Amino acid sequence: MLIHFERTGGFAGLRTAVTLNTDTLPQDEARKLQEMADAAGFFNLPEKFPLPKRGADYFVYRLTVEKDGRKHTVEVSEPAVPAELRPLFQYLMKHAR
Amino acid sequence: MGKNKLVKIPSSEGIRGARRTQMTDRGPIMGIIPPHMMKELAKRGDQRQRDMALKTLLISERIRGRRDAFAQVYVAMPAGKKCINDYDAKNKEGEEYLPGNAIQDPESSNDMAVKEAYNGASATYDMYHDVFERNSIDDKGMCIISSLHYGEKYNNAFWNGRQMVYGDGDGEFFNRFTISIDVIGHELTHGVTEYEAGLYYSDQSGALNESISDVFGSLLKQRVLNQKADEADWLIGEGLFTSKVNGKALRSMIEPGTAYDDPKLGKDPQPAHMDDYQDMPHSEDNGGVHINSGIPNRAFCVTAIEIGGYAWEKAGKIWYATLSRLKETSDFQDAANKTFQAAGELFGDGSMEQQAVKKGWDTVGISVVPSAMRARAAAGAAAGATE
């Protein structure tokens, strides 16, 4: 499984990104990632979530996952991040620079 | 009027309506403070002064059996009242955890973030009230709410459409987000912009939205520090970076693109001129709203320095008067034309202030098109179409 994650926007407007390959990660890390992506039902999530009607300085997330010949990208602004996707985002943010 | 009846006034009147009320009562009622001064205190003083003044007026009105002066104050009170509340998000992340636990007496808290959020919101309220005659975010006196300690090591502050939210920062790159008072003015102004202009938060209208927040955030800092336009640093988020980061702030309004240059964070990407405007996909910072804001930021800066004196007194008033004339899709050109028009109405066509606005936008590569010229062009096009 190949993961590319980036976070932009926020008050600082900084870009933070990380690319991870489960083949090169320690086994337990790879399993954890896989579980989080499955728990979020990632491949069934819409590509784009509706933009928040109000609010400003939210983070903007873009996550692409490639697995078994399938590739899916999700774009979502902070307040619309589904609860089941949040653990995955938080995990990826710990690795992102 | 019945004893306990409230005076209901249309919300559109607000404190401005109340302020226009003619004060006729000149004779001293009680003590050495004349009632007109007491009324001012009841309207504009701090909480303690207002309570004291209102009580004094109430007693004196009862003594003298007159209710007219009291009615005037009572009408003004709800509109002029400052309401600021702080909450602790307890390091939880997600809208469902907002606002969090209410914090008692935030102004005297030992928690720096709580205290800074309270004082910053209070100073922002005062600036909008005293300089722009605006009563809070919605101009109807809504309570200003801030949640602190949002998320874990959270590197952001935002406005969620109802309230402000502040993270603690990761301590590696970012300090707590309340550390810089202009950040607080910036966030609160997003609320004001939402009520006045409703600028779409993407691409150029979004960058304009961002710039307006930087403008009033910086004006707040300058007002608190009592700085004139040429004395201000025009930095946004000074102190927000830790000492490990090579940068003086997050943005520079006066020299966009020069705020930081760090091996890990990269270089400040803000353009200072339309020639360097960056078209970005929506998935990146909503189309670069925090990037291209550098352009109108610099236009304001040049205008304010050109006019001279305190930036909030003239340039700030021009920009504030423009807010309600913008629409959801307004771009930089629209803002340029409308600030020019507002300057003409406030200070006269051809005035030094209006010329300064033109110079500000010229500097960033935007030529103001005066409304008279736009009308002629439209009339010309219509005439051409009928020929």
Per-residue DSSP letters for B360-372?
Answer: HHHHTT-----HH
Alpha-carbon distance of B303 to B252, in angstroms, equals: 15
**Domain edges within chain A:** 2-95
The answer to whether A12 faces chain B, any CB pair under 8 Å, is yes
**Complex ipTM:** 0.92
Residue B176 contacts residue B112 (beta carbons within 8 Å): yes
Q: Which of residues 57-76 of A touch B (CB under 8 A)?
A: 57-60, 62, 75
The answer to whether B264 faces chain A, any CB pair under 8 Å, is yes
Residue B177 has a pLDDT of 98
Strand boundaries in B18-131, DSSP class E: 84-88, 101-102
Residue B370 has a pLDDT of 81
Q: Which of A13, A75, A83 sits opposite B290 (nearest CB)?
A: A13
Whether B148 and B211 map to the same domain: the answer is: no
Strand boundaries in B223-293, DSSP class E: 235-236, 251-252, 261-262, 266-267
Q: Which helix (H) or strand (E) covers residue B111, if one does?
A: none
Range of the domain at B202: 198-387
Last residue of a domain, one of B46, B80, B114: B80
For A8-26, the pLDDT digits (tens) are: 999 999 999 999 999 999 9
Whether B301 and B340 map to the same domain: the answer is: yes
Residue B185 has a pLDDT of 98
Whether residue A12 and residue B210 make contact (CB cut-off 8 A), yes or no, is no
Residue B87 contacts residue B103 (beta carbons within 8 Å): yes
Tokens at B360, concatenated? 């500000």
- Mean pLDDT per 10-residue run, chain B (387 residues)? 38 38 34 48 53 48 41 45 96 94 96 98 98 97 97 96 97 97 98 97 97 98 98 98 98 98 96 98 95 98 98 98 97 98 97 98 95 75 61
Residue A55 contacts residue B160 (beta carbons within 8 Å): yes
Residue B46 has a pLDDT of 54
Whether B151 and B49 map to the same domain: the answer is: no
The answer to whether A46 faces chain B, any CB pair under 8 Å, is no
Judge if the upstream peptide bond of residue B281 is cis by omega within 30 degrees of 0. Answer: no
Tokens at B243, concatenated? 């000492």
Which residue in the block uniquely carries the two structure tokens 């890390």?
A29
Tokens at A47, concatenated? 């590509």
Query: In Å, what is the CA distance from B143 to each residue of B77, B79, B121, B191?
Result: 14, 11, 10, 12
Number of independent structural domains in chain B: 3
Last residue of a domain, one of B122, B151, B179: B179
Tokens at B77, concatenated? 């009170």
Alpha-carbon distance of B324 to B331, in angstroms, equals: 14
Alpha-carbon distance of B329 to B342, in angstroms, equals: 19
Whether B371 and B244 map to the same domain: the answer is: yes
Instruction: Give a yes or no: residue B7 inside a domain.
Output: no
Residue B22 has a pLDDT of 33
Tokens at B18, concatenated? 């109340």
Which residue in the block uniquely carries the two structure tokens 């579980």?
A35
Alpha-carbon distance of B277 to B367, in angstroms, equals: 15
- Annotated catalytic residues of B are 187, 290
Tell me the sheet residues that pair with B101.
B88
| Bridging pattern class, strands B261-262 and B266-267 | antiparallel
Last residue of a domain, one of B80, B103, B126: B80
Whether B20 and B86 map to the same domain: the answer is: no
Closest CA to A78 of B208, B177, B198, B96: B96
Residues 6+ apart with CB under 8 A from B268: B247, B250, B251, B252, B256, B257, B258, B259, B260, B261
**Band (A97; pLDDT cuts 50, 70, 90):** confident
CATH of the domain at B117: 3.10.170.10
Mean pLDDT of chain A: 93
Residue B48 has a pLDDT of 52
Whether B234 and B311 map to the same domain: the answer is: yes
Closest CA to B145 of B90, B178, B188: B188
Residue B43 has a pLDDT of 52
